[in-house]
Amino acid sequence: MDILLWVIVVALFVLSIAGIFLPVLPDTILLWGGFLIYHFFIADPGAGLPSSFWWGMIALSVLLYGADLLTNMYFVKKYGGSKWSSFAAIIGILLGIFLFPPFGMIILPFAFVVLVELFMQKQTMEKAIKAGFGSLIGFLGSAVVKVVLQVTMIIWFFIAA
């Protein structure tokens, strides 16, 4: 039975990494599923994972959720986008996840940023596309950050287990 549970834990970890690139998969929730299965069904009763592990996972989970939003805002701004474009990128990410997965969270932020820069900020097409490009770089940057964070969480889990 333990072998089957370990297979499920590892499968959840693999799916969580896939969830970075396939936003229909809830990456952080899948990670936590693996942690909880180990803690409640595999670990010796009373042993489990230490409280420092759980607090660390909470902190890293918050960073995971913020990675998309913060990196997107940063790169839109860096590539010349306005504050309104940063908000448009966030709205694009949130809508894109639910309306057109998995590509919506790439396409909608780009489109929203370009439209905001063109029509609200009265920028040239070149500047608007440059700001929109920042949202694409933000998506790729957040993917890198999320991979690093998730791999760190998984390694920490195996050390603590």
Six-digit token pair at 67?
A: 């990675």
Q: How far apart are the first and last CA of the chain?
A: 17
d(CA 29, CA 12): 9
* The total number of structural domains that make up the chain: 1
pTM of the model: 0.78
pLDDT at 74 over 80: yes
pLDDT at 115 over 90: yes
Report the 10 Å Cβ neighbour count for 102.
14
Residues in the chain, overall count: 161
Torsion of CA 102, 30, 156, 64, to 10 degrees: 40
d(CA 114, CA 149): 30
d(CA 143, CA 11): 20
Domain span at 97: 2-160
Six-digit token pair at 74?
A: 């940063």
Are residues 9 and 3 in contact, defined by beta-carbon separation less than 8 angstroms? no
DSSP 8-class letter at 43: S
d(CA 108, CA 116): 12
Q: What is the pLDDT of residues 47-69, one digit of tens each?
A: 889 999 999 999 999 998 888 77
Higher-pLDDT residue of 119 and 71 is 119
Residues 6+ positions from 71 with CB-CB distance below 8 Å: 138, 139, 141, 142, 145
pLDDT at 44 over 90: no
Q: What is the pLDDT of residues 10-38, one digit of tens each?
A: 999 999 999 887 767 888 999 999 999 99
d(CA 116, CA 118): 5
